[in-house]
Every structure is written in structure tokens, then in C-alpha cells.
Amino acid sequence: MILEQIRNYCLSLPFVSEDMKWGDNLCFSVAEKLFLVVSLDEPLLPASFKVSDEDFIELCLKPEFVQAPYFAKNKWVKVNEIEKFQFYEWKTFIDNAYKLISLKLTKKLQAEIHNQLSQIQSK
């Protein structure tokens, strides 16, 4: 199931944690900063994630995406059904969201993340 693949991938990234917020929303954070939310209480499992300013404009023009409620001002988009995308596409969405949020962390933490990602990629 795509949700399990998404979950496993997110948790493989440095400093990522998961928790439940706002009822049944599975949330993934890097160093306690949110980058992906999956709504478990809706049948099609919609998901919201952080995107760049450019991607926000481009993606919101596509029918598969909408501005994420409550998060749109911070450039988040929502996919109404996670199964509409293959895992390799989710991996790209996750990597981009993770990177954008990581860039807001301290320089020290960014360096630790970079080192851990380098070690993962060299395996």
C-alpha cells in the first residue's frame, strides 16, 4: 500500500518523526517542523505537503492538486487521493518538502542532516 511506502520512506530520513495531530492526521516532521500530513479519517487518504513558491503556482493549476486548507499561505498543496501517484512521484514530493523545511533549521542541524543523507546515499 502506498501509505506504508510513504511512511517507511519518511521515517528513513534523518531527524524525522511521526505523530497524530488534529484528530486522525498522520504528520511527518523534520526536527519537529511539519513537512507532510496524511488525513487518515478520509476514505481516499488525502495528503498535504510543502512545496516551493514556483511549484505551488504550477501544481495548483493541475486538477490533482488544490491549495491545502489552513496551509496555503505557507505554500502547501493537497492531493485528494494519495493512490493517484506512484511511489517514485511521492518520493520526489517528500524529498522536496523535506528539503524546503530543512532549510529553515539551524545551520548546525542542516549540516547534521546533510552528513546523514550523504551516508545513506553512499550505501
pLDDT, one tens digit per residue, over 81-109 is 999 999 999 999 999 999 999 999 999 99
Query: Alpha helix locations (H) across 50-106?
Result: 53-60, 87-102
Residue spans per domain, the chain: 2-122
Which pTM was predicted?
Answer: 0.92
User: What separation, in Å, do the N-terminal and C-terminal C-alpha atoms of the chain show?
Assistant: 26
Q: Tens digit of pLDDT for each residue in 4-49?
A: 999 999 999 999 999 999 889 999 999 999 999 999 988 889 999 9
Place of cell 529553515: 104
Which class does domain 2-122 fall in?
Answer: alpha beta
Q: CA 100, 41, 16 angle in degrees (round to 5)?
A: 30
